């Protein structure tokens, strides 16, 4: 898994995203916070996702 974190040299913070999901963007003050914020964001996305159930037809 690859996380891309771009450091803002003026503020010192980061803007980051997961390489496989570039539309999910977070901001953080530290790299550890980047991981935490992405984890929380993906958790929130999954908790809000609808689940579709299908029967396996043989």
Q: Is the dihedral of CA 58, 50, 25, 34 positive or negative?
A: negative
pLDDT tens per residue, range 14-32: 999 999 999 999 999 999 9
- pLDDT for res 58: 85
Domain residue limits, the chain: 3-47
Judge if pTM exceeds 0.75.
yes
Average pLDDT value for residue range 30-44: 97
| pLDDT band at residue 40 using 50, 70 and 90 as cut-offs | very high
């Amino acid at each position: 898994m690859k996380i891309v974190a771009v450091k803002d040299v003026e503020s010192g913070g980061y803007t980051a995203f997961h390489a496989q999901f570039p539309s999910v963007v977070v901001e953080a003050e530290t790299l550890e916070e980047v991981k935490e914020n992405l984890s929380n964001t993906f958790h929130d996305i999954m908790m809000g996702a609808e689940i579709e159930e299908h029967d396996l037809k043989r």
